[in-house]
Amino acid sequence: MTLAFRRALAVGFALFAVSAAATAQDFNAAPPNAERQSPAIAGQTRAPVIPAEPALRREVIADGLRHPWGVDQLPDGSWIVTERPGRMRIVTPDGRKSRPIDGLPEVDARRQGGLLDVTVAPDFATSRRVWWSYAEPRGGRENATAVATGVLSPDARRMEDVSVIFQQQPAVASGAHFGSRLVFDPTGALFVTTGDRYGPRESAQDVGTHLGKVLRISPGGGAAPGNPRISRGLPEIWSYGHRNIQAAAIAPDGALWTVEHGPKGGDELNRPQPGRNYGWPVISYGEEYSGQPIGSGSTAREGMEQPVYYWDPVIAPSGMAFYDGALFPDWRGSLLIGGLASQALVRLTLEDGRVTGEARYQEGRGRVRDVDVAADGSVIILIDANNGSLVRLTPDG
Ligand SMILES: [Ca+2]
């Protein structure tokens, strides 16, 4: 074997290795941003990469949606979708979009603000009641996360009997970190997730504010019965010390799980327990966008909870759902999470409340803003773009 041939073979083999690595999922190959941090518990980050199976068939149900943010399915199989600039529409299963539904309160649609999540009543078939979250203008440059409810008229053109059931205190002059997912727990109480508003981040630790919290309210407004008693705390608070939670779902056992946007290298999966402190901004994985440490740079402290799992680098999480459908039997019990910057549908396998594996699907095919599981077991994602879309994912073949 000549030296030139050996070199050619070595180069060829290296190229082969590179192309093989590029076709496999290599999202754990990137180094962490905060290289000196280590997880508090085994398996808390970088779970084993599992194959992205099965292959998916991707079908655009409807496009032309401007920055869609939240989606829920109605009993007749159609979809109620929010668009961040302030519109809510019905999309039929065959992709016809209604005119914007009339009667919604004004939203502050600047930067990350606007019309956000939507969820329909468990008894929507008879009550036609809907809840939605939004950035509420409060005068001057100030705004706040708010939640309203209304009854969708029989022709689905108008929201009637509208009332605002939650208004975040205090209002803040900021265009960021509004939260705000809405999920009902098994008792009928409504969880509302919020953010630190990307300004006074210490307010996430201040139980006298609604900023950076998981809140649990009654569907007609006010603190829900059974909330934890927190010394000097507002009665709506379920848990605190959160940065910006845009993903929330109820597990098959009835427990709330959330995913929050962390700083650079600090997205977190949590299972928020009543009255507990999840640490932001005192403890956090990751670092400032500048590369500086968050506060003292510590990742653990007595009296503050560890995340179940964290991502460094981040996925930039959006909506999430537990999979319990019929079309993907191997996915049952998995957690599906939308990724914005990661432009992926992230699947986590869970065992005894811990993450055991991670797979990513649809990478690079748009910022995933929300995830839902349809009644037929297909997975529905919202692609957040100027020309955004409602997409159905089913097994291919
Ligand atoms: Ca935390």
**Tens-level pLDDT at each residue, the chain (397 residues):** 444 444 444 444 444 433 333 344 789 889 999 999 999 999 999 999 999 999 999 999 999 999 999 999 999 999 999 999 999 999 999 999 999 999 999 999 999 999 999 999 999 999 999 999 999 999 999 999 999 999 999 999 999 999 999 999 999 999 999 999 999 999 999 999 999 999 889 999 999 999 999 999 999 999 999 999 999 999 999 999 999 999 999 999 999 999 999 999 999 999 999 999 999 999 999 999 999 999 999 999 999 999 999 999 999 999 999 999 999 999 999 999 999 999 999 999 999 999 999 999 999 999 999 999 999 999 999 999 999 999 999 999 8
200 C-alpha vs ligand 1 centroid, how far in Å?
Answer: 17
CA within 13 Å, CB half, 198? 19
* Cα four-point dihedral sign 318, 252, 194, 285: negative
Residue for token pair 């290289």: 35
Token pair 């748009």 in the structure block, residue = 366
Query: Which residues are the active-site residues?
Result: 177
Task: Quote the pTM value.
Answer: 0.93
Task: Compute the distance from residue 334 Cα to the ligand 1 centre, in Å.
Answer: 22
* DSSP one-letter string for 323-335: ---SS-GGGTT-E
| Ligand 1 centroid from CA 287, angstroms | 13
Query: Which class for 204: exposed (0-12), middle (13-18), buried (19 or more C-beta within 10 A)?
Result: buried
DSSP β-bridge partners for residue 149: 131, 163
Strand order in the sheet with 237-240: 182-184, 190-193, 213-217, 237-240
Residue 187's Cβ-count burial label (10 Å; 0-12, 13-18, 19+) is exposed
**What is d(CA 16, CA 183) in angstroms, rounded to the nearest whole number?**
47
Q: Walk me through the domains of the chain, giving residue ranges and CATH numbers.
A: 47-395 (2.120.10.30)
The enclosing H or E element of 344 equals strand 344-351
Say which residues have a Cβ less than 8 Å from residue 126's Cβ, sequence separation at least 6: none
Task: State in Å: Cα 327 to ligand 1 middle.
Answer: 34
Contact 90, 149 (CB under 8 A): no
What separation in Å is there between the alpha carbon of 283 and the centre of ligand 1? 7
Q: Please give the structure tokens belonging to residue 10.
A: 């070595």
CA of 305 from ligand 1 middle (Å) equals 7
